Chains A and B, each alone.
Chain A
Amino acid sequence: MSFLARRLGFYLLTAWAAITLNFLIPRLMPGDPVELLVARMKGNVDPAAIDAMRRAFGISDASVWQQYLDYLGNLAQGELGRSITFFPTEVSTVIADSLPWTVGLVGVATLISYVVGTSLGVLAAWKRGTWMDGVLPAATFMHAVPYFWVALALVFVFGVTLQWFPVSRAYGLDVMPGLTGEFAGSVVYHAALPAVTIVIASMADRILGMRNVMVTTLGEDYVVMAEAKGLTSRRVMWAYAARNAILPNITSFALSLGFVVGGSVLTEIVFSYPGIGSMLLKGVENEDFPLMQGIFLVISLAVLVANFLADLAYVVLDPRTRQESE
């Protein structure tokens, strides 16, 4: 399993880099959250109170090195500090509240987008020269459409004009969270438009990527041979061509996850979805160092985990890596 071990090592290194980057960014950039808070209060604050707040927010004058060690130590205990925006709520609480929504939304949407996009890509390659070629210009266009614009358009059409779907929040006002069918239904109903946004906007990449690899794969001798063997088209298409074409796509899929997550941040903001993306924006707007740091860290780690899962999938799907040789 040297392949996986190596990848794991890499992810650990990357995680460390993300953590450190996270620590450095706020300290390298100018700005002072307390000052901002004071501005928000339109100046009605006592200077003594300002100092006290500063201390409460963990903005210390210790050496950067000491701060870094403290930061790592706190992280190790799962402590991300207190949010300034939601002071005195712990950042970890804010994240714990919002992360499940994002993971659910982005996870499901990405899964759908991957499955549908990959299938369409396979078909587009297989049925070259038929009407399926029409998918390509559409995908090319969608590939370049900003997520939030898709979201806005969907809001306009299905939310405002037709009023088929709710256009904000994660579940209805009248349902209380709990393990009830009503709640689940409401969650699904509310997730519909944001999920469709993510699916639409991220699917194009999958279609185009899969098609290109698939077209190349279709030219491979083993596909020609599979056809010569008199296998059914379906079997040739899926078991021989698609099965191989998926492999290079797994890596690109994993790498595009970061992009999808980025897009979903915008989507969440448009739909006021109570996920981590909305929180990130809130953190940025309020110059909420701890919150921004925490969220960026969590997103990065989530993407890393997803990448590692993709690597696992790769190992399972490709016998060449599973075996201990090249």
Chain B
Amino acid sequence: MKIKIGAGILVFFALMALLGPLLIGADPAATSDDGLQGPSAAHWLGTTQTGQDILTQIVYGARISMGVGLLSAVIATVFAVLVGLVGGYFGGAVDETLSVLTNIFLVLPALPLIIVLAGYLPQRGVASVAVVIAVTGWAWGARVLRAQTLSVRRRDFVQAARAGGEGPFRIVFFEILPVLLPVIATSFLATVVGAILAEAGLSFLGLADLSTVSWGSMLYFAQNGQALLIGAWWWFIPPGLCIALIGTGLALVNFGIDEIANPRLRTIKVRKARA
């Protein structure tokens, strides 16, 4: 159920990001003379101060926001998987080093670090922002994966594979990795949420590329244009809501996966005992 709702939300946004621009077609940055219009038939979600259509911006922004989220989550997850699995499986000095590294990145406050890093970025393109976010976002996944690897490594099937003569590479990537897929999936999805939030935060602070339209940069412009003070709620509500919804969707899918792994977590309908 949760997975269905969550996946529904995600599919909706994915379609919006992929097909939306084709349907809407317009340039999200295109200005017009009717600035600061509330929602109307012409502009479903109203316009910004410079007359940009907010719906168009939301649709295009989905690409950037989700793109950054996915890209940095992919980078972070690949890194997390490598660090977590390698450290967890091989143990010893490799593991000690990797886990200290992981823990360091885990306790260092991510957003300030992102801000500082982004502050120095020469080129604040989508990719570099994604990389910066990934740099600070891999540690949690690596930690979880390491812990899981440690426990999976002890599982008999790994021992059996070793006794059967499998090499370490194959054990890590063919025996352990598949078993950890649900964990990797949850950690990936959580990283996506984190990355989308981080990108929004960065854009909101004006530390990302503001000439590309993303939900975060929309909020930045809304804030700069004092959308709140002039009561232009249609300007700042949709982007924030989209971020929150997509995060909710991802979280729902995540919780759904958790519940499959741990059925106790499900919400249950209590039936009266003995009818």
Direct contact between A and B in the complex (CB less than 8 angstroms)? yes
In the complex, the answer to whether B109 meets A258 with C-beta atoms within 8 Å is yes
Residues from 235 to 267 in B contacting A, C-beta threshold 8 Å: 236, 240, 243-248, 250-252, 255, 258, 262, 264-265, 267
Docked Cα-Cα span, A287 to B122, in Å, equals 12
Docked Cα-Cα span, A134 to B233, in Å, equals 27
Chain B min CB distance to A202 (Å): 12
Docked Cα-Cα span, A145 to B197, in Å, equals 8
Tell yes or no: B130 within 8 A of A by CB. no
In the complex, the answer to whether A141 meets B244 with C-beta atoms within 8 Å is yes
In the complex, the answer to whether A145 meets B109 with C-beta atoms within 8 Å is no
Chain B min CB distance to A182 (Å): 29
Chain B min CB distance to A233 (Å): 15
Which segment, of A56-64, A79-87, A152-160, A185-193, faces chain B? A152-160
Tell yes or no: A52 within 8 A of B by CB. no
Q: Chain B residue with minimal CB distance to A254?
A: B107
Tell yes or no: A8 within 8 A of B by CB. no
Docked Cα-Cα span, A148 to B107, in Å, equals 22
Interface size on B, as a range, is 35 or more
Docked Cα-Cα span, A152 to B239, in Å, equals 12
Q: Which residues of B contact A208 (CB under 8 A)?
A: 255
Q: Which residues of A contact B107 (CB under 8 A)?
A: 11, 14, 255, 258, 300, 303-304, 307
Docked Cα-Cα span, A255 to B105, in Å, equals 10
Docked Cα-Cα span, A216 to B110, in Å, equals 29
In the complex, the answer to whether B104 meets A13 with C-beta atoms within 8 Å is yes
Number of interface residues of A (CB under 8 A): 63
Chain B min CB distance to A166 (Å): 15
In the complex, the answer to whether A149 meets B219 with C-beta atoms within 8 Å is yes
In the complex, the answer to whether A284 meets B207 with C-beta atoms within 8 Å is yes
Q: Contact mask A25-55 → B, CB, 8 Å, 1/0?
A: 1101111000000000000000000000000
Tell yes or no: B106 within 8 A of A by CB. yes
Chain A min CB distance to B58 (Å): 14
In the complex, the answer to whether A152 meets B247 with C-beta atoms within 8 Å is no
Which segment, of A115-123, A173-181, A259-267, faces chain B? A259-267
In the complex, the answer to whether B243 meets A216 with C-beta atoms within 8 Å is no
Tell yes or no: B121 within 8 A of A by CB. yes
Which segment, of A68-76, A91-99, A291-299, A318-326, faces chain B? A291-299
Docked Cα-Cα span, A144 to B6, in Å, equals 13
Q: Which residues of B contact A28 (CB under 8 A)?
A: 120
In the complex, the answer to whether B116 meets A144 with C-beta atoms within 8 Å is no
Chain B min CB distance to A234 (Å): 20
| A148 and B204 in contact, given A292-B116, A296-B113 (Cβ under 8 angstroms) | yes
Docked Cα-Cα span, A259 to B139, in Å, equals 13
Q: Which residues of B contact A224 (CB under 8 A)?
A: none
Q: Which residues of B contact A273 (CB under 8 A)?
A: none
Tell yes or no: A104 within 8 A of B by CB. no
Docked Cα-Cα span, A307 to B122, in Å, equals 33
Chain A min CB distance to B233 (Å): 7
Docked Cα-Cα span, A28 to B229, in Å, equals 41
Q: Contact mask A215-247 → B, CB, 8 Å, 1/0?
A: 110110000000000000000000000000000
Docked Cα-Cα span, A145 to B193, in Å, equals 10
Chain A min CB distance to B104 (Å): 5
Q: Which residues of A contact B223 (CB under 8 A)?
A: 152, 270
In the complex, the answer to whether A149 meets B243 with C-beta atoms within 8 Å is yes
Neighbour of A129 across the interface among B255, B262, B269, CB < 8 A: B269
In the complex, the answer to whether A216 meets B265 with C-beta atoms within 8 Å is yes
In the complex, the answer to whether B270 meets A129 with C-beta atoms within 8 Å is yes
Tell yes or no: A10 within 8 A of B by CB. yes
Tell yes or no: A212 within 8 A of B by CB. yes
Q: Which residues of B contact A148 (CB under 8 A)?
A: 200-201, 204, 219
Tell yes or no: B111 within 8 A of A by CB. yes
Docked Cα-Cα span, A147 to B112, in Å, equals 14
Q: Which residues of A contact B104 (CB under 8 A)?
A: 13-14, 17-18
In the complex, the answer to whether B109 meets A26 with C-beta atoms within 8 Å is no
Q: Chain A residue with minimal CB distance to B143?
A: A255
Q: Contact mask B187-216 → A, CB, 8 Å, 1/0?
A: 000000100010011001101000000000
In the complex, the answer to whether A216 meets B111 with C-beta atoms within 8 Å is no
Q: Which residues of A contact B251 (CB under 8 A)?
A: 140, 143-144
Neighbour of B255 across the interface among A130, A140, A262, A263, CB < 8 A: A140
Chain A min CB distance to B261 (Å): 11
Docked Cα-Cα span, A153 to B238, in Å, equals 12
Docked Cα-Cα span, A219 to B263, in Å, equals 11
Neighbour of B111 across the interface among A17, A128, A160, A262, CB < 8 A: A262
Q: Which residues of B contact A160 (CB under 8 A)?
A: 228-229
In the complex, the answer to whether B201 meets A128 with C-beta atoms within 8 Å is no
In the complex, the answer to whether A145 meets B270 with C-beta atoms within 8 Å is no
In the complex, the answer to whether A144 meets B197 with C-beta atoms within 8 Å is yes
Q: Which residues of B contact A30 (CB under 8 A)?
A: 120, 122
Neighbour of A146 across the interface among B204, B229, B267, CB < 8 A: B204
Q: Contact mask A280-323 → B, CB, 8 Å, 1/0?
A: 11011101000010011001100110010000000000000000
- Known contacts A146-B219, A280-B112, A281-B205; 4 additional CB pairs below 8 A are A17-B108, A146-B244, A208-B255, A262-B110
Return 12 A-B CB contacts under 8 Å, by A number.
A13-B104, A14-B104, A26-B120, A29-B122, A129-B268, A140-B255, A141-B244, A144-B251, A145-B247, A146-B240, A215-B265, A265-B111
**Closest 7 interchain pairs by CB?**
A144-B247, A262-B111, A29-B120, A284-B119, A149-B240, A258-B109, A129-B270
